[in-house]
Every structure is written in C-alpha cells, then in structure tokens.
Structure 1
Amino acid sequence: MTHPSATPAQQSGHAGLSSQEAQQRLAKIGSNELVRESTTPAWKLLLGQFNSPVIWLLFGACLVSAALGEVIDAIAIGTIVIVNALVGFFQEYRAEKAVLALRSMTAPRARVMRDGHLQVIPAALVVPGDILVLEAGDIVAADAHLLEANVLSTLEAALTGESTPVGKSTKASAPNAPLAERCDHVFSGTNIATGTGVAQVTATGMQTELGHIAHLLSTAKDESTPLQQRLAALSQRLMLICLGIVVAVALLGWKQGLGGMEVLLSAISLAVAAVPEGLPAIVTIALAVGMQRMAARHALLRRLTAVETLGCATVICTDKTGTLTTGVMTVREIWGVDQRQVLDAATACCDADLSEDERSGVGDPTEVAIVVAAAQRGIKREQIEAVRARVSIYPFDADRKRMSIFRSDGVLYAKGSLESLAGQASLIPAGMMESAAEMAGRGLRVLCVAVGREDRESGLELIGLLGIADPPRTEAVEAIARASAAGIRTVMITGDHQLTAQSIARELGMLKPGEDPGETVHARATPEDKLRIVREWKSRGAIVAMTGDGVNDAPALREAHIGIAMGQTGTEVTREAADIVLADDNFATIVAAVEEGRSIFENIRKAIAYLLAGNVAELSVVFIAAVMGYPPILLPLQLLWINLVTDGVPALALVTDRSSSSIMNRPPRPASDPLIGAREWRGIFFAGALQAILVMAVFIWALEARSLEEARNLAFSVLVFGELLRAFSARDPDRPFWEIGLFSNMKLFLIVVLSVMLQLGLHHIPATQKLFSIGAISLADCGLSLAIGFMPLVVLEMGKVCRRWWLTKAHGFPAAPSQPGQ
C-alpha cells in the first residue's frame, strides 16, 4: 500500500519526463506562452490616422485660421487633429491588449512530474509529454490527455460556452467530438472545479485551444464604423465644393481686374464660409452625450463611435447564458407524487452550501439550484446534516453518472441520470420515462432522485424527477420583441446543447412553434463557427452586433461591427476585444443602447444639417456679392465668428435632444444611407437660400441709403439672428417647435438667448468693434435685425404645418414622421 501523502501520479507510477528531455523539448518547441503575431509598425499606424478626409478638412480649417492670423483658432483646431489621431492610434492596439489578457488566463505555475518527483515549475516551462498533477482550484497549464480522473470536473464556459461544470474521465471521446464533449481532455486556461487528476500534456503555447483562439483574434478585422464612413464621404464632398467655389471666385475676381489682396480676401472668406469648423466638436460631443446616457443604462463604452454604430445594427448575435438567461441554474419543474419528498431527498444528496440570502450558494451550480429550491419550501441542508448525519458517500463521477449519501436515519439518498439510477431500481414508476423525455425535449437538465434502505446502490426506489435549467430573463422577452419591431434580428449563438438553446429561443419568442431554427439558433458553436456566422451576416450587408462573455467569443466580438462584452461574467479577454461592456449582462440593455445609438445619429444628422444650412447661406452671400461686383459683405473674421460661436454652440445643444417616441418603430438605416440624405440636402439648400436672400436684400437696401459699414452691420446681425433662431426649427423635420416645447431643450433656449445678447454686445464694445470691423447698432436696427431674423424660422415652421395638412387632407391618412434621409 502506498503512503497516503503520495501524489496521484506517484501512486500510479507516472515518473514523467527527465529534466534533460524536458530541456531539449523546450528548446525545440518553445515556451508555453501565447505570442503576438506580426503587427503593423507603430509609426505606420500613427501616420495612417492622418489619411482621412475628416482630418484633411480639419487641416484646411487650421490653415485658414493661420492665414487670417488667428493663432488661437489655428492652435485649437490643430489640437483637435492631433487628439483625434492619437485616439485612433491607441484603438489599433486593442487586439494586442486582448492577446495580453489571454496570457493572464494561463497558469503562472504548474505541478508536474519530473525525474520521478513532483515539482512546481513556471507554466511557461511546461512541454508536451509532461505529466500534470491537477487539483480543485488549479488553472490548467496546457492542453492535456487524462490518465487518471477522480471526481474531476472543469469549468470550461470561457472556451466552450457550456454553462455547467464538465465531468471528466479517462474514457476515450469520439475522434471528432466537439470541444465541449471531449471529456478525456483538459484545456489550457480552464479551471479545475472538483476532484483530482493526472494528465499528459499534448499541446502548449499557441498550439493549445487557447492559442488557437488567440490566432483567430489576431486575424479578425477592425473596420471603420458606419458613422466614420459617412463622415468621410461628407467631408470629401465638402472639400470638393469648397475648392471648386474658391477657385471659381478667384478666377472671377482676376477676370474683373480686382487686386491680388481683394481676390485673396474673397477666396479666404469663401474658404472660411465653406468649412464647418464646429463639425468635429459636434460629433464628439454627441457621442460623449450618448456615452453618458448609455452608462446610465448600464452600457459602458470603450470607444465613442460605438454609440452610433450600435444604433444602426440590423443583426444582434447573442450568447445565451447570462445574457438571454439569468446565468443561474434553477429548479424549474418537479415530477413526483410527493414533490416535497423529492426535494428533501435531493437536498440530502448535495454538498452545496446555501448563502445567507437563500437565493444563491457555493458549490456545483446544479446542487446550488437544488438547495435554493428546497430552502424556498423550508427544507434546509444544514438541518439535514445535523439530524441525519452522513455515514458514507458514493461520489459522482462521469462514468457512474450518479452520486449517493447514506445517512444515520438508515436511508441512502441518490441522484443522477435516469438511465443510471433505473439500472439500480427494481421498478420504474409509470410515466417517469415519458416525463423525463418530455422535459429533456424542452431543454431541461433532468435529474432522477431515488432512496434506498441499505448502504449500497441497489434496490433503489425512484421517487421523482427534477427539471433544472438556466431560465430566460423576463426582461429579455420584451427586449427581443422591441428589437423585432425595430427591424433588428436576434440570433442566438451558444456552446450549449441544441435542445436547450431551441427551448430558450421559443420561450423568448425568437422561434415560433414549428419554425425552422435555421439561422436563428446556433448551438455547440466553436470560436470558428462564431467568427464564420458573423462574417456571413456582414457579407450580406448587415450591421452586426455580437455579444459574449467567454474567451471563445473574443474573435467574433472583434470581427463584428460592434462587440459587446458581459461586465459581470465576462473574461478580461472579452472586455478588451469589445467596444461596449454591459454592466448588468442584460440583453434588454443592448436594445436600450440601440435606442440611444439611433437617437445620437439623428441628433448628429440634424446638427450637421443645421450647420451646413448656415454654411450655404454664408457661401451664397459671399459668392453672390463677388459675382455682382459688390464689396465683401462678410469679412473672414466675421464668418469665423458665425461658424464657431453662433452656429457651433447651438449645434452642440441640438445633439443633447432626447429621442422621439417613434424611433424604435422604424427599420434600421440601410448601410448605404448617407449621413445627409436627399431630404436633408433639400432642407439645407432651402434654408440657406432663404437666409442668403434676406441678408442680400438687407445689405443692398442699406448700402443704397447708408454707409458700407452700416450695411455690413445689418447684414452681419441679420445672418447671426436668423441662424440662431433657426436652431429651434432644426430640432425636428416634421413637428413645429411649439409642439416639441420651446423649453424642452433648455440648453438650446439659453444658448440662443445668450448668443443674441453676445452678438448685440459685439457692436457696442470698442475692442470687439475694432476686431470685427463693425460699428454700433441702433435700437431700431436691432429690432429690424431680429424681426428679419425671425422670418426663416416662421417660413420653415409654416412649411411643416402645410406639409402635414397636405398629407392628411390630400392623401387621406395621418402624417407619420417620415424616414429621415428620404
């Protein structure tokens, strides 16, 4: 008989490798570590951040400001360029951070047999052929084939998505068995839940299953977001328009015989009028507001653009466990003549401990579910232990598929698979086999409960069945329905069993009775499967959001347009690969975040439309004046003031608007839908032309009766007041501002009021008079400017009222909010 203190490996005679052989293998194969694959040099990544039309547009604004001698403006815009480039640069390292996080999952130390003795060595020195000695609580150092297993089980959810501990044995698995069913192997990075074992290492480092996922993670693609693509397209268009008009005016001035300085002044004025300097700040503030609102709804963003990207999602690929379900095993059904007796017997055959709140516990998740259900009926395991002490135990193992405890009351309490316990029983109660099959068919894990009168597992009496499962979240049902109403398809991708996945999908309303699961439910999915599914949806033009919590989800999260990690149950690897982290691991939070994302996009769209309408007005005024031979109506510094202050600041307030109640009743925006659609462009040109006509009319009228300075004063004030007041109309393309509420966006109201007062102050402060080349404005001219400035707002709001009347009367149906961009 061997000494009790000997290790399992020593007891079985596993001597392991010699130190010399281990050194030779280490030199040949390399360290047991996850390595970074080839990456783009840092300097190339940094330079690549400047290869963007948005950055070119900012550079243009910076150069214009510098040309005008506005050093502060040039520095401010240049700072924005640098900050944006640095943010993009650091985003490129997210994949490498994810690989580093993968490294943290590997065991820092390992117990191995070397030279016939048990040694503790750094996990990096483990080589194929080493004999690992495993105990509960260990992190497995490498992939290994089991030589011995004593009540051994591992937690593999991070790799496979399997929600319960996986029982291990030395019984050979099928050659092509899925990872979750390879019970004769243990895998690097997983945890030993119970028992002890001895295993021979088969793969280390990047050759392990964990290393394979690290490789997939490095091959997954990071793509520009829909918002970045739309902004790039818009910026290119604006640059071409700006360049074309500047060249045209310069040629026109040269043909008219104007001096070089006059031509330069006109060209610079046009460039300033064409470049919306407030655009980068508006987009950044809009996304930051969305980030704050999503954080309040338990969705934490790791990068700003993820706000808008989620808003245009068309497919949400989601894990099951913990996201659509509670993540906690629960006794959902009890079959038997005396249900209390069934729970009592099952609890008497448990090792799990109940927590103080009696809603959770410590131990095997299935046993925790049993003791929680029993406690709800007044059955406490600690009382059973006190009154009916244990005499002997037959522990569970993967081969027997049952466990039993003989207690001092002379009763043997047993639980396990029905097939296992039925073989030890003299009689199977009527209806038990049919009920077990029906429960299993609905995705429940079925446990049979039995009692005996002797200290042996024979002659048992089968008294009942327990149906255990991870139940769906109640709020997930409503969330999936909301997503469906919003035109978003929900796809379940899980490592769990097909029957379990389909059952949960039907409970959640994802699958209708008789409907083919097809593309809606994917069970037993490997990391490659998840990556393939995401890529297939992307190839169809879908905007894909992918959720996950395990290491096996990380490559798909990185590949998806928007990766969503679980904050409570997710691994560090998953969080590093994701764009959004859910603080509550709740699918309903994803749908709430989609709503915020849609709202942010609409706010960005209307703010940019508001800005561009102002640019069109300014361009039109400068261009028409040049064509008609008038002196410049608006000077470059005055245009900068309008763009950066009286246009930009109200636009910042516009992006804080709350979403409309109908935003989740619309289909997702098509991927080809531009940031500014045909309808927005029509509105931009109409509002811009309207303001330009009013400004030109006031300037020409004043120039005939007054001096050039007074004419410029009036034109400057009319344009500023018109654009400020038009901000109220820009809040909604269909509803007049009085229906929305003048004070429903108090920030905008206060900004408009303060900006009007500030504009009036410019005309009466000597320093600003000199800076902007303007003079004092009389009370009468102030009233005239405000009155004319109100006209665009009145015309635009009356247009909304007329359009509604036309839709309701002429076509005979209520006017619903039209789809923006059409």
Structure 2
Amino acid sequence: MNGPLPPMSREQSVPVPPAPPGPANTVLGLSRAEATRRLAEHGRNEIQREETRSPWVVLLGQFRSPMIALLLGAGGVSALLGEHADAIAIGAIVVLNALIGFLQEFKAEQALLALRSMTAPRARVMRDGYAVQLPSAEVVPGDVLLLEAGDVVAADAHLLEAHALATNEAALTGESAPVDKAARPVAEGTPLAQRTDTVFLGTAVTRGTGLAEVRATGMRTELGKIAHLLASTQDTKTPLEERLEQVTKTLLVACLAIVVLVAALGLWRGHGWMTMLLSSISLAVAAVPEGLPAVVTIALAMGVRRMAARHALVRRLQAVETLGSATVVCTDKTGTLTTGTMEVREVWGDNSHAILFAAAACCDASLGPDGKEGTGDPTELALLRAALTRGIRREELERDRPRVAVRPFDSETKRMSILRADGALYVKGALEVLLPRCRNATVSASRAASELANRGLRVLAIARGEGPEEENLELLGLVGMADPPRPEAVTAVAAARAAGVRTVMITGDSAETAQAIGRELGILLPGEDAAERIHARVTAEDKLRIVRRWKERGEVVAMTGDGVNDAPALREAHIGIAMGRTGTEVTREAADLVLTDDNFATIVTAIREGRAIYENIRKTLVYLLVGNVGELMLMLAASLVGLPLPLVPLQLLWINLVTDSLPALALVMDPARAELLNRPPRRPDEPMLGAAQWRAILLVGTLEALMVLGVFIWADPAHDVDRARALAFSTLVFSELLRAFAARSTTRLFWEVGPFTNRLLLGIVLFSVGLQWGLYELPAARELFGLGALRPWELGLALALGFVPVTVLELSKLMRRLSLRPRAEAC
C-alpha cells in the first residue's frame, strides 16, 4: 500500500490502488457471498449485553433488608388495627429507601452499554479485490482491514502489513505510550501489551498504515472478554451496609424476643389477645429506629456535596463512607500518580543543548501556542518541550533549515532521520541500532543507557551526520524520558501510609518503569516486597485477580482506573474510582466515584471525608438506639409490673421520627476532626457498635426508662392515664432532645466541643422543644396523640427532668478523664 485510501460509502467500491510487490498484491479479501455466510455463522461484530435482571427484580430486591422486613411488619399490623397514621409514616420510609436503592443498582446496568461506544462505527475492508466501507457490525473473521492514522480498529486482527504503524492501547492494556506494530509474528502466549503483530477492537491508530486479517469479532475479541468479566463481577456490599445489617439483625432478634416475652406474660395473666397485640406493636415501634435510613442517606448526601467541591463526583452514596474504611488502594499509574504525559527527565552527553537541538530537528510533532499541548507522537512532544526550555523552537528550525528528506520511524529499523537543507542529517532511535552506525561509539554510552533504563526511563539515542546516508554518524548523547509523578501524589501517598492505607500500583508498563516510579512516589520503600506493592504488565484478568486476592485477605479495597481493562476490577472492588478527564465512558459507568481532576491526592482527601462520615453515623446511631432502648425498657417494665402502656404507638412514632430524627440529622453533619488521618483504618471485621457502644446504649437507655417510668407512676395512671402518659411523653422527649448535645463526643465535654460549631443542632433542639410544648396548646393535637392536659409547672418539671441524662453523661466524661490523668502523670 502506498498510503491511506480515501473514505468511501458502503455503496462505493473502487479497485485497490497499485501496491509495491509483496503480500498486499495477493490480498483480495473475502467474496461478498463468503462474508454473508460467515456473518450468519459467527454473528454480528458487536459487544453483546449479558442477560440482565428485570427492573422489577431489582426493585423487589430492595425489600430483603431485615430493617425493611421489620418496618413492613410493624406497618402492616398497624394498618390492620386501624392505626393509619402509623402505617402511612412507616410506609413512606420503606418506599423512599427502596426507591433510592433501585436507582443506584439500575445505574450500574449501564456499564455494559458504554462498551458499545468503544467500537468503530464503520470499517474499511477488502471484498472481491475492492476496498469498501461498511458498518463495523458486518465485519467477519477473515476480512482484511485497511488501517490508517485516526481509525478505530473494528476487530481483533493479525497484521499482514505495517508501515510505521502504531496504536494507542492505553484503554485496553494500561500502557502509557503508543505501541509500535509490525507484521512479524510473536510467540504464543505473549502478554497482551506485547502482541505487536495484532491490533485490537476499540483501539486507535495513532500513525502509519497497515493491512490486518480479522481473527476475532464481537464477544470473542479482547474487548468482548472484558465485557464478559464485567458482567460476571458482583457489586460488593460496602462495610457500612454490612455493619448496619448486623445492627439491624441484632435489633430484630432482641425485638422479637421481648415481644414474645411480653405477649406470653400478658396472656398468662389473663389479658386479652387484642390488648397484647397492641402492646406488641408498641414494642416493635419502640425498638425500630425508623429515622435511621433517612439519617444515613442525609449523612452520605452531605458527604457527596463536600466531596464534589474537592473534585470527586459520587455515583453511589455508600461509596462516600466506604473510602473511609479502605485499607488498600489499588491505583493505576498513568495520569493518576503521574501527569499522564511523557517528559524528558535526564539528558546524558557532553553538550545537552546540541542533543536537544538535534532531537527537535528530528521530529514531526508540533507544540501548541502554549508550549504544552500539541499534536503528534507523545515522545516527540516531550523532546520539543525540553528543547523549548533551551530556546529551541521547531518552527524556527523548519524556517531556517527546511527538511529535504525524511525516513519515518519504523518498528523494523527502530530509528527515524531527517535531512535538512544545510546538509545535516539528524537521527534518533534505539541505542543498539545507532551504535554500529556511529564513529564515536563508546562503552560509556551503553552503561549510561543501562543505568537510565534501570531507573525506569525510556532511553532514546540522538545522533548527527552529513549527507543522506545513515552511516558514519556522531553520537551526541542520550535522552531519558518518563511519565513523571504528580508532585502532590508524593505527599498524598505519604498521607495514605500515615493513615494506615496501603497504596498498590497496578500498571501496564514494564516492571522496571513501575518500580522506579513506585520508589520515587514512596509506594515502595527500602526493604519492602515489590511484588506486594507493584504489579506491572497486567491484563484485565490480572487486575480482577489482584482485587479479589486482597478482598480474600479481609481488606477493604478501593480500585482506580481509566481504561476499559480496569472496569471489571472497579466493579469487583468495594469501591471503584474512575478518572473523569482521561477515563473511558465504560470505566465511569462501572465506578462508584469519579475524580474530575484525575488526582490521587483527591482520593486521600476523600478517605478523610469518609472516616468523618462513619464517625458521625456511628455516634448518631448510638444516640438513636439509646432512645429506642429507653422506650423499649419503659414499655417492657410497665408490662412486667402490670401498668398500662406509658406510651401509645403514635406517640412513639412522634418521638422516633420527629423528636429523635431531627437532632440526628444535625449530628451527622458535625464537622470532621483534624486527627482522623493520623490513625489506622478501622479493622474490616470491626462492628459498627462494639462493646463500649452497646454498654453505653444499655446504661443510658435504662436510666431514661427508669426516670420516665418513675414519672409515669408518680402521675397516678390509675386515676388519669392520659395525663400520666402526657407527662411521661414530654419527659422522654425533652430528655432525648437535650441528650443530643452530649452525643457529639464520647470524650470531650459539651463546652469543649463548642455549642455553636453545630448551629443546626442547637436550632433543631430549640425548635423541637417549642414544638413539643405547643402540642399541649392545640386541642386537636392533644386529641390526636391522646394527651391529657398539663399545667405549665408540670411541663417545666418534664423539661427539668430532661436534663438528668445529659448531666450524667457529662459527669461520666469528666470522671473518666480525672481517673486517667494520674496514670498519664505516672507514665
């Protein structure tokens, strides 16, 4: 082939232009009849969607949670007994939670659809000796593809001819530089990134021309295999989801046990089954923190907003907290830890100015007006940028010394040369190719090249000669290039290490390059096992295997990536992180988090935010469960001693949904503490509520229950049960509202935390106290809630008693601090 063929429509066909002697003269392609037969045999050249779940199946799956089952049970029984307000409130919570979960899962199904956008819409092939253009879906095995710069390869194909051909396979292999292709066969089993005799579906031709015979189409291609992997991976439950599920199961067991106990005692004492059923509903409502789903959602949504301001877009709410649990971050190198552009890192030789001048004189690429962006080969752009720092401009070279002849780079010759009008010949290429042609070849040049290569640099030799022949050259020197680390990534890796998070680099580059960059970034320190921290020349299957191995070891894994080959591993990891600038649409669709600045430092910032969210959710959960346990103990104790129910179901829902949940929404918005990144991550097997938390829940809940029960008994329910309930109801409400201030920290006192650092909490508590007081001023509200009339001094008494639990909590913090101080002084 003498050059690229002009584009043609499907209806057009022209004879192939005359070609030089060689294989191309014998390549006539398939006949149309044979192509039709093979299309029927092998199917269309498309990335097929695997069988997906019906939207109804996804929706129904949202109701499998134990918390949802508990809520549905309580709501259903409430509806049967005519407690319609209870049933509506519970139903609204269940529907909202299911809708959020459905939308999250349904979005994940779009990842496979994005793979289709990677394939070439049209392809040029040989049919009956003519070059024709047709939809890429009609390409079949045996077709001969015609390739030129700018094309997207339509199928996996074996090269028949290659003329200075190179393809960009970064999305498929992770290799940062274009891959030179040649029609020379490679050995069976050669890694994907080193198959220089093959072009792959979805990759782009960056330079040169070629002919290739199609070997695989559709789902049989390398891209199709990744589609299979992507479909076979499962969305992993986040640590937050698992821990909340454990808490919910504990609540469910405790709730059922107490309900059965109360029902059995009541029936044994001769109470009617309807009375005991009403008591059981009250206990179930008391045990369930109805506001918890909303609280968790709000906490995560606030984290989403804060992270968006820090260049991280969250596609799945739970991903915010999951990053805070991460113990391992598997990260791509190119563009995330590095800048994503080649850069001259070192020049070896006696005259660096002359070396860079010759390098710039042997380039076809062009820099943009800003001296940074440009068009052409990344290696040549790096050389031109380095030359520009010495005042050498290619446009001036072309003006003052126009080119006379050019021998383009070829994977066979491994060199390029340009002859200028002044008679000077400038050559660049592999050192082993240029050394035999240089008159001043030295052993020191070979040693220097070896040293540069061992440091992970790509080495290019620069030479100069006279006349058109590439002989008797003068070796000017060597240029070492690499994709340099981002300056902020070094700091971020150190911060991740200090936070107890391992950084594991996964890349398609060579082991030498990967390890050199790993040492420079601080990922690989002296004495550490490189095989544990650095993985080079990996495929999509390798990445998936690496993520699964870390998960099997009990680690919480975050995975970053930008290429199609990263998508299965992103889906498999606890949290997948895609690059927003350089990432493919497939990767972004498969990810939970998208970095708009492609910066590893943003991940470390997100880890801190995730830890803060977890801390806020845990302390809020403790706050809510103290109230629920207090209500449960209150109802259980009253049943055991034969008293009327201190609270009716609607009053319990008011406490749980309004009086509890509003302060809880403010608690989850507490600002993050500065020291969160100075401690190791939580153990993956650590429960959300440990022994200390459950002990606090039981003790404080029991204290509230005994206090309210005492008020209820003092108010004489046998004489006026509505008035006794009203006093117990208000005492419990005020107690739980005021306790929110102590819930902000388990170690710092109320005034040390600062009452005005969370003004929303202060406002909500004041508002809720006024709202509770106002219930007694409205006759309709008193009738709806079954409240007896209370005099102002009785409401004042309820408010004063509400200060008892918060005061006990603050005093216990102070006593614990005083008991620890002598030990610290002794140390």
Map 1:334-483 onto structure 2 (within 5 A). Answer: 334-428=347-441, 431-483=444-496
Query: What does residue 187 of structure 2 align with?
Result: 174
Query: Contact 2:540 / 2:568 at 8 angstroms: preserved in 1?
Result: yes
TM-aligned CA distance change 1:61 to 1:648, over 3 Å: farther
TM-aligned CA distance change 1:213 to 1:259, over 3 Å: closer
TM-aligned CA distance change 1:56 to 1:792, over 3 Å: same
- Alpha-carbon distance between aligned partners in 1 of 2:791 and 2:16, rounded to the nearest angstrom: 98
Partner SS state of residue 423, structure 1: helix
Given candidates 161, 181, 189, the residue that maps to 1:148 is 161
Query: Contact 1:8 / 1:197 at 8 angstroms: preserved in 2?
Result: no
Map 1:177-192 onto structure 2 (within 5 A). Answer: 177-192=190-205
Query: Contact 1:425 / 1:462 at 8 angstroms: preserved in 2?
Result: yes
Query: What does residue 338 of structure 2 align with?
Result: 325
Query: What does residue 36 of structure 1 align with?
Result: 49
Query: What does residue 218 of structure 2 align with?
Result: 205
Query: What does residue 725 of structure 2 align with?
Result: 712
TM-aligned CA distance change 1:502 to 1:776, over 3 Å: same
Query: Contact 1:9 / 1:198 at 8 angstroms: preserved in 2?
Result: no
How far apart are residue 39 of structure 1 and its match? 4.0
- Alpha-carbon distance between aligned partners in 1 of 2:321 and 2:401, rounded to the nearest angstrom: 61
Partner SS state of residue 622, structure 1: helix
TM-aligned CA distance change 1:324 to 1:788, over 3 Å: same
- Alpha-carbon distance between aligned partners in 2 of 1:813 and 1:334, rounded to the nearest angstrom: 60
TM-aligned CA distance change 1:206 to 1:615, over 3 Å: same
Q: Report which stretch shifted further, 437-446 or 33-42.
A: 33-42
How far apart are residue 315 of structure 1 and its match? 1.1
Deviations 1:701-754 (A, max 9, x none): 333998544433322221111100100111112211211111111111110111
- Alpha-carbon distance between aligned partners in 2 of 1:197 and 1:779, rounded to the nearest angstrom: 92
Query: Contact 2:46 / 2:219 at 8 angstroms: preserved in 1?
Result: yes
The one-letter amino acid of 1:470's match is D
Partner SS state of residue 674, structure 2: coil
Partner SS state of residue 371, structure 1: helix
Given candidates 44, 58, 61, the residue that maps to 1:48 is 61
Given candidates 298, 303, 326, the residue that maps to 1:313 is 326
- Corresponding pairs, count: 814
Query: Contact 1:414 / 1:450 at 8 angstroms: preserved in 2?
Result: yes
Query: What does residue 630 of structure 2 align with?
Result: 617
TM-aligned CA distance change 1:79 to 1:631, over 3 Å: closer
How far apart are residue 813 of structure 1 and its match? 7.2
Map 1:372-771 onto structure 2 (within 5 A). Answer: 372-428=385-441, 431-703=444-716, 707-771=720-784
Deviations 1:387-414 (A, max 9, x none): 1111111111111111111112221122
Query: What does residue 218 of structure 1 align with?
Result: 231
Given candidates 207, 216, 230, the residue that maps to 1:194 is 207
The one-letter amino acid of 2:155's match is A
Partner SS state of residue 194, structure 1: strand
Query: Contact 2:16 / 2:129 at 8 angstroms: preserved in 1?
Result: no
TM-aligned CA distance change 1:26 to 1:495, over 3 Å: same
- Alpha-carbon distance between aligned partners in 2 of 1:472 and 1:310, rounded to the nearest angstrom: 23
TM-aligned CA distance change 1:137 to 1:813, over 3 Å: farther
Partner SS state of residue 449, structure 1: strand
How far apart are residue 474 of structure 1 and its match? 1.4
- Alpha-carbon distance between aligned partners in 1 of 2:662 and 2:529, rounded to the nearest angstrom: 53
The one-letter amino acid of 1:793's match is V
Deviations 1:154-207 (A, max 9, x none): 000011111011111112223222111111111111000001111111111111
- Alpha-carbon distance between aligned partners in 2 of 1:750 and 1:434, rounded to the nearest angstrom: 72
Partner SS state of residue 569, structure 1: coil
Query: Contact 1:567 / 1:582 at 8 angstroms: preserved in 2?
Result: yes
- Alpha-carbon distance between aligned partners in 2 of 1:328 and 1:29, rounded to the nearest angstrom: 40
Query: What does residue 134 of structure 2 align with?
Result: 121
Deviations 1:496-540 (A, max 9, x none): 010000000001111123543121111000111111111111111
The one-letter amino acid of 1:688's match is G
- Alpha-carbon distance between aligned partners in 2 of 1:355 and 1:706, rounded to the nearest angstrom: 90
Deviations 1:67-96 (A, max 9, x none): 564545533432443343344445445564
Query: Contact 1:319 / 1:547 at 8 angstroms: preserved in 2?
Result: yes
Partner SS state of residue 545, structure 1: strand
1:66 maps onto 2:79 in alignment = yes
Deviations 1:359-417 (A, max 9, x none): 22221111111112222232211111111111111111111111111112221122111
- Alpha-carbon distance between aligned partners in 2 of 1:707 and 1:731, rounded to the nearest angstrom: 38
Query: Contact 1:8 / 1:198 at 8 angstroms: preserved in 2?
Result: no
Structure 2: any 5+ residue segments left out of the alignment? Answer: 6-14
Given candidates 64, 82, 102, the residue that maps to 2:115 is 102
Query: Contact 1:111 / 1:118 at 8 angstroms: preserved in 2?
Result: yes
Query: Contact 1:360 / 1:372 at 8 angstroms: preserved in 2?
Result: no
- Alpha-carbon distance between aligned partners in 2 of 1:304 and 1:269, rounded to the nearest angstrom: 32
Query: Contact 1:405 / 1:412 at 8 angstroms: preserved in 2?
Result: yes
How far apart are residue 325 of structure 1 and its match? 0.8
Query: What does residue 783 of structure 1 align with?
Result: 796
Query: Contact 1:361 / 1:372 at 8 angstroms: preserved in 2?
Result: no
- Alpha-carbon distance between aligned partners in 1 of 2:233 and 2:653, rounded to the nearest angstrom: 44
Query: Contact 2:4 / 2:148 at 8 angstroms: preserved in 1?
Result: no
Query: What does residue 300 of structure 1 align with?
Result: 313
Query: What does residue 282 of structure 1 align with?
Result: 295
TM-aligned CA distance change 1:514 to 1:606, over 3 Å: closer
Query: Contact 1:764 / 1:777 at 8 angstroms: preserved in 2?
Result: no
- Alpha-carbon distance between aligned partners in 2 of 1:46 and 1:761, rounded to the nearest angstrom: 41
Partner SS state of residue 662, structure 1: helix
Deviations 1:760-792 (A, max 9, x none): 111112221222222444343333222211111
Partner SS state of residue 682, structure 1: helix
Q: Percent identity?
A: 60
Query: Contact 2:74 / 2:281 at 8 angstroms: preserved in 1?
Result: no
- Alpha-carbon distance between aligned partners in 1 of 2:778 and 2:469, rounded to the nearest angstrom: 100
How far apart are residue 639 of structure 1 and its match? 1.3
TM-aligned CA distance change 1:541 to 1:256, over 3 Å: same
Deviations 1:259-295 (A, max 9, x none): 4554344333222211211111111111111211222
Map 1:208-287 onto structure 2 (within 5 A). Answer: 208-287=221-300
- Alpha-carbon distance between aligned partners in 1 of 2:84 and 2:339, rounded to the nearest angstrom: 57
TM-aligned CA distance change 1:412 to 1:725, over 3 Å: same
Query: Contact 2:67 / 2:248 at 8 angstroms: preserved in 1?
Result: yes
- Alpha-carbon distance between aligned partners in 1 of 2:405 and 2:3, rounded to the nearest angstrom: 23
The one-letter amino acid of 2:428's match is K
- Alpha-carbon distance between aligned partners in 2 of 1:76 and 1:303, rounded to the nearest angstrom: 26
- Alpha-carbon distance between aligned partners in 2 of 1:4 and 1:535, rounded to the nearest angstrom: 45
- Alpha-carbon distance between aligned partners in 1 of 2:564 and 2:17, rounded to the nearest angstrom: 31
The one-letter amino acid of 1:636's match is P
Structure 1: any 5+ residue segments left out of the alignment? Answer: 815-822
With structure 1 as the length reference, what TM-score do the two structures score?
0.95
Query: Contact 1:327 / 1:470 at 8 angstroms: preserved in 2?
Result: yes
Query: Contact 1:413 / 1:451 at 8 angstroms: preserved in 2?
Result: yes
Task: Return structure 1 stretches of 4+ with deviation > 6 angstroms.
Answer: 1-6
